[in-house]
Structure 1
Amino acid sequence: MRVFDFDRVSKLSPAVPRERTEASPCAACTVRGMTICAPLDNQELAQVSAIMTSVELTSGEPLFDEGEEAGNVYNVTSGTVKVYKLLPDGRRQVTGFLFPGDFVGLARQETYAFSAEAVTPCLLCRFPRSKLENLMQRMPKIEQRLLNIASNELVAAQEQMLLLGRKTAREKIASFLLMLSKRARQRGQADDPVMVPMSRTDIGDYLGLTTETVSRSFTQLKQDGVIQLLPNHQVKLAQREALEDIAGGF
């Protein structure tokens, strides 16, 4: 039987804790530069990663519902999410579409003011609201980043008000396609052809149009040679300048 050698062990160097070297899951994020994590250094990123969990949604699966306790906030890292409100008469108003890099779930109240649902399969980073607020107190960079995000959301809301109030159906569809193109370019993706993963009904509920009017407007733009409808929910902007003219200087 082997005897424990106390004398030998006492002469060994004391153990030194080793720093963990595995990368934070945030480090490999392809849209990090557009998320709340963009201004953070590696040490700060590790603290954010420690409170984050990943969420996966299938097409049509809800992320949260209007009136639900606003306990979490989210960053979209892949896929498309729609946010909407249900009107008292049962109609639905889509207020926006979210893409990789977008933030969702900010709420001043204790409950969400709108619903969010996956348009396509999605991946999101989920942060407990209370823990993120605590980090914001220690990391002003996160708070500043959220202010920038809120400012961008205000601009998007103003653009939608213009779409709903002053444009014809044809102008709305043209503006919508150019908006999707612009958003893709901001994410570093190809801006033509444009990915249009949402349904005609979703588009109509966003633009204040019926599903039939949306389909008819797409068909008219196609027949005029301004766009081409491609497989896999893609739309080719065949005549971008003409589309911009139709949109009224989007």
Structure 2
Amino acid sequence: MPVDTGAGERLAHACHHKRQAESCGECGARLAGICSVLTPAELGDLEALSQHLTLDKGQTLFGQDEPACSVFNVIEGTLRLVRLLPDGRRQVMGFALPGDFLGLVPQVRHPVSAEALGPVRTCRFGRQDFAALVESKPHLLRSLYERAGYELALAQDQMLLLGRRTAEEKVAAFLLSLRARFARAGHSSVTVELPMGRQDMADHLGLTMETVSRMLSRLDRADTLLLVPGGVRLLDLDRLEALAAG
């Protein structure tokens, strides 16, 4: 059930919502988000506008084409960003990780749906309130621009990923990109968590689920990575980077 409908009475039925049990200054995702530039006093201003939302696996934060009334900061968990095509097929546009802001779109309606892949915690801000706060703090606006540039780079990488690369190159590039994004959020490790399923990866990379599974198994047999519960351990970064470079 979608959360961000613009109707407060429906919000309570879709998820749990409450004031933060932790302050913005204690938020584990703060350093990876645009709010990292704020002073403690300014974080208080931000916190006064926010509301905690907790989703369970399978719940939808907002749906495609619904009014974009709010923006969200992902604190914990991963969301799948999905766009349905006119013929009913779906394209996984990306995955939102801790530190990512969602809803910062120029359109009045969400171009994608955001679906929880597991337990997710977010901060919700009214769009107009958040816009007013950003306008009053030039350094926050600069951080927002920098974030937009980073997300544009991710979108360009995705376009390249869907181009002429082989299936093995696509999978290698995806794993390295995910590792870099987790590191940006403060979770640097040779083991990369894969909260999304093989079908999600396939729909993101323009492959079939069988092909994704086959490429992961091939890389595992070549000792390039090790398949572990819930993710992969990257054993040969040089080979992965060579593959990702195409």
Gap regions ≥5 residues in structure 2? 1-20
Return the match for 1:238 from 231, 235, 238: 235
**2:193 aligned residue:** 195
Distance 2:133 2:242 in 1: 46
Q: Describe the SS at the equivalent of 2:161.
A: helix
Identity %, equivalent residues: 43
CA contact (8 A) 2:31 2:185 kept: no
Amino acid at match of 1:214: V
- What is the aligned partner in structure 2 of residue 151 from structure 1? 149
**Cα distance in 2 between the residues matched to 1:114 and 1:244:** 30
User: Aligned letter for 1:245?
Assistant: A
Partner of 1:5: none
Deviation sequence 1:136-182 (CA, Å, 0-9, x none): 22222222221111111100000000100121111100111111111
Spell out structure 1 runs of 4+ moving beyond 6 A: none
Cα separation, 2, equivalents of 1:77 and 1:110? 24
How large is the Cα RMSD of the aligned pairs?
1.4
The equivalent of 1:89 in structure 2 is 87
Partner of 2:48 in structure 1? 50
* Counterparts in 2 of 1:134 and 1:24: CA distance versus 1, 3 Å: farther
What amino acid does structure 2 have at the position aligned with 1:116?
A
Q: Distance in 2 between matches of 1:165 and 1:104?
A: 26
2:71 to 61, 70, 73: 73
Count residues in correspondence: 226
Superposition pairs of residues 212-231 of structure 1, within 5 angstroms: 212-231=210-229
- Change over 3 Å in CA distance of 1:24–1:213 after alignment to 2: closer
Q: Does structure 2 retain, via aligned residues, the 8 Å contact 1:24–1:46?
A: no
Aligned partners of 2:135 and 2:236: how far apart in 1? 49
- For 1:208, the equivalent position in structure 2 comes to 206
SS of equivalent residue, structure 1 residue 225: coil
2:4 corresponds in structure 1 to none
The higher radius of gyration belongs to 1
Which position in structure 1 is the counterpart of 2:101?
103
SS of alignment partner, residue 147 of structure 1: helix
